[in-house]
Each structure stands twice: as structure tokens, then as C-alpha cells.
Amino acid sequence: MANVLILILKSDATEPQIQHVIERVESLGFGAHLSRGTFRTIVGLIGDEQRLQSEPLSAIPGVAEVVPVMPPYKLASLDAHPQPSVVDVGGVPVGGGQLAMIAGPCAVEEPDRMLRIAKAVKAAGANIFRGGAYKPRTSPYSFQGLGEEGLKILRDVGDACGMPIVTEVTDPRNVETVAKYADLLQIGARNMQNFVLLTEAGQANKPVLLKRGMSATIVDWLMSAEYVLAQGNPNVILCERGIKSFDPSTRNLFDVAAVPVVKGLSHLPVIVDPSHATGKPALIPPCALAGVAAGADGVHIEVHDEPEVAKSDGPQALLPDQYAEVAQQIRQLAALLGKSIAPLPASKASG
Ligand code: PEP
Ligand code: MN
């Protein structure tokens, strides 16, 4: 067995303290490997790391620092799975050089409009249609979404156009209902650390699109993915959607570096959402391209045919023509990078 954790002792740790550390480690069922340096003494713990998570090792007198050898997001890490994962979303392969092109309005609205938008984004190259039926709004007085009626509309439109659909689930009590209709369950930024919701979604037998919380570190985000993976659901796609910043120039701060950072830590596909990251139509195309150039496995963009009457997030919606233009640029950039927009499944391509 390998070293799973290293204890760095304080420079003034006494001999009795060092002996106590060793006894404590051995009493927990771990081997202790003592190494005395000129300035610091360290103790390597050998054994099953799973059993270590809850031990308050830094509270042992004489211990200065506890350094895990493996990341705490074991299943999400590259150690667990050195090759990039490919997640199947209703027949559309996401990751490993195939890009997700998720597009659609913020909220599910009336069926005719949804069908119109879906046809337009599909013609432009989108391969997954989006729309929120349960909207997590900052104000309780804002439109909250059409609920299950919205799910039905989205499913019907997806089927009519031959596109898989993604929609947000905001409440653990709704996971089963949303999973009945959706091909991909979105967990929104505000719920990234709703651990009950993550656990339920992990059991739902549908892939999960996990948005980054607006104040979440990358490790927080990967730990949330770990909640889903730990339920036996390996199909998680991460989505960078901007984080809080001091600058009101953009809705959020688009953390494009998060993409290569995650790529260096995890095998999970990671996509970008320049709509919520910037909140401004003019900034969406350049940031979408920056995300793909940085290695993203897809792009999530809100599109509406009449933003001024949109029920939610109208001011940041691209018009279908604007979407078609950026989609074409993404296609060209992807080709340059040896990637391509993932194809719709053959059985669904005709609609
Ligand atoms: C959305 O996708 O419409 C949404 C609410 O996203 P986020 O959770 O990133 O704010
Ligand atoms: Mn939105």
C-alpha cells in the first residue's frame, strides 16, 4: 500500500509528541513512516485513504500540516481515469473532441415559440436544446417557470426536432419528474452545493450538467461532481458560467482559465456558458470562442427570437441569426483544434 497522507510536524515538536503521533496513527490502523529531516520531521501514513477522511489529524499535538497525497475528489480526478470521459447525452457524445452545442431560451415558454427557436438553433448547429421549467430566480416575484407543463413542452419540441434536451432541476423532490422528461439534468450555480440534490441526481440514471457555483472554487466544484459520481453515476459534464467579482461591467466574471485548470485535474468534460458569465449579447461570441480555444468541450448559449418579451434573461439572449454566426465560428475553431461539433444521433437527425 502507498502513502496516502503526509503529516508535517512542527519544527519544535518534542520527542514524546513524535512518539504520540506514531502511536495515534498506528491506533487508527495505518502504517507510520517516520522521516527526520534537518529542519522538519514528517510522518507518512500508509493504508486505506478512505478511512482517513474524518480523522482530525491536525489536532494531534506537534502536527503542523496535513498534506493529502491524493485529491479528495477521487472519482473525478485524472488519477481515477486518465483518459477524457465522453458523456452520452441522449445519443450526442460530449467530450473527447466532440463539442456540445447547447442552445435555447432561459425559460421554457409557449410551445410555438419553443419550436421556432429549436428549429433555428438546430439549423445553426446546436445539438442539445435547453430551457428552464423550474427557474431559480433571485426574486420570488419573478417568473418561476412552467413546472411540469414546461417539461412536457420541452420534451415535445426536442422530439419534434430530434434534439436531446437539458433542463434544470432545483429541488430534490422534483428529480424523478425532471428525469422522466430530460436527457440531461442541469444543476444550477445556486444549487451547486445542494448535496441532497446532487445525491438524488446521482441516482437518477441521467447525465448531469453541473454548473459552477458563483463563489465556488474549482475544488469545491469538483467535490460537488464527486457527490454525483459517488452515487455510481459517471456521467457528469461541468459548466463554467462565471463567478462573482467586484466589477459590475459584466454579469459575472468569466473564468476562462478554469477550463484548462479543470482539464489538468479531471477527466470530466467541461463546457462554458458565456451567456450567464457575461450577461451581454455582444460579449457572448468572443467569450464562447475563448472557451473553445481554452479547451472547452462545448458551449451553452441562451437564444430567444424576441428577447424583449422573454420571460427570463431576455437582455442576455442572442437572436437566432447571431447564434448561427457564432456557431459557424465555433465550428471553424473546432476544426482548427482537431475537434468537431458532436453529431445528432442518426435516428434523431431527420426532424
Ligand atoms: C440558467 O441556465 O438559466 C441558469 C439559471 O444558470 P445558472 O445556474 O448558471 O445561473
Ligand atoms: Mn438564464
Considering the entire predicted model, what is its pTM?
0.93
d(CA 31, CA 21): 12
Q: Is 132 in the pocket of ligand 1 (CB under 6 A)?
A: yes
d(CA 47, CA 41): 20
The pLDDT tens digits for 114-126 are 999 999 999 999 9
d(CA 310, CA 303): 10
Q: Are the CB atoms for 25 and 19 separated by under 8 Å?
A: no
- Work out the burial of residue 247: count CB atoms within 10 Å of its CB; fewer than 13 is exposed, 13-18 middle, 19 or more buried: exposed
**Rg of the chain on CA atoms, in Å:** 23
Predicted confidence at residue 348, as pLDDT, reads 56
Predicted confidence at residue 262, as pLDDT, reads 98
Ligand 1 atom closest to the Cα of residue 300 is: 2
Predicted confidence at residue 55, as pLDDT, reads 78
The pLDDT tens digits for 60-109 are 999 999 998 889 999 999 998 999 999 999 999 999 999 999 999 999 99
d(CA 258, CA 77): 15
The residue whose CA has the least distance to atom 3 of ligand 1 is 106
Report the separation in Å between the CA atom of 316 and the middle of ligand 2, taken as the mean of its atom positions.
8
CA of 138, nearest ligand number = 1
CA of 133, nearest ligand number = 1
Distances from the Cα of 221 to the Cα of 19, 78, 275, angstroms: 38, 15, 19
Report the separation in Å between the CA atom of 189 and the middle of ligand 1, taken as the mean of its atom positions.
6
Q: Select from 214, 276, 278, 318 the residue to mutate for testing ligand 1; criterion: most ligand atoms less than 8 Å from CB.
A: 276
Q: Is 189 in the pocket of ligand 1 (CB under 6 A)?
A: yes
- Residues with Cβ < 8 Å from 167, sequence gap 6 or more? 108, 130, 131, 132, 133, 134, 150, 151, 154, 178, 181, 182, 185, 186
Q: Are the CB atoms for 165 and 128 separated by under 8 Å?
A: yes
**pLDDT-based confidence at 53, cuts 50/70/90?**
low
Domains of the chain: 3-68 (3.30.70.1140), 87-348 (3.20.20.70)
d(CA 289, CA 201): 30
Q: Select from 143, 185, 186 the residue to mutate for testing ligand 1; criterion: most ligand atoms less than 8 Å from CB.
A: 186
The pLDDT tens digits for 153-184 are 999 999 999 999 999 999 999 999 999 999 99
* pLDDT at residue 2 greater than cutoff 90: no
* pLDDT at residue 35 greater than cutoff 80: yes
